[in-house]
Amino acid sequence: MIGRLTSVRNHKTKTHIFSFYLGHEYGIPFAFGRALGFNDSDLLRSRTYYNVYRVETQPAIDVARRIASKLKFVGQPGIAFYGDENYPVKTVGLGTGCICDPLQFMDLNMDLAIAIDDTVHTWTQTTFAEDTGRPLVVVNLRNTSFQAGLFL
């Protein structure tokens, strides 16, 4: 279902994003997490712009495929994946907005990072992912995290 009105974009909390049609209030990281299939009960760590969720242990490429399939609803035809496809993933961190540099939220200790293309530079974050094997999924800013607030 699609919410009729999103009044304020907010990265900080579960509040201040109003989907009046469904009566839910979520900030962008929480709305984006829900759009990707994460539940509030899966949330392990959080701070402004960033959430880390628990997932069933699986190879990074399987997590990436699941993320890609979830983003079809906003018209994103695919995602970018960097790092070791077989890296065992138990936690997924996501950042929202144009300041979600995955290297800036590594201290939240996630196995796989989801970041926005406005912030990811192929010569920095992606090289880090390739060199270390730490998986990185890059998605489009406008078609993903912000629109998730509209679809709650």
Segment-wise mean pLDDT, segments of 10 residues, the chain, 152 residues: 39 44 58 87 89 96 93 82 96 82 83 85 78 88 56 50
Half-sphere exposure of 115 (CA within 13 A, CB side): 26
pLDDT at 2: 41
pLDDT at 144: 54
Could you tell me the CA-to-CA distances from 81 to 6, 72, 111, 122, 136 in Å, in that order? 30, 16, 14, 11, 6
**Domain locations in the chain as residue ranges:** 18-148
pLDDT at 110: 92
Q: What letter does residue 89 receive in the DSSP assignment?
A: E
Q: What does pTM read for this prediction? A: 0.77
18-148 domain in CATH 3.30.429.10?
no
Report how far residue 86's alpha carbon sits from residue 83's, in angstroms, rounded to the nearest whole number: 9
**How many residues in the chain?**
152
Residue type, 99: I
pLDDT at 4: 36
pLDDT at 105: 80
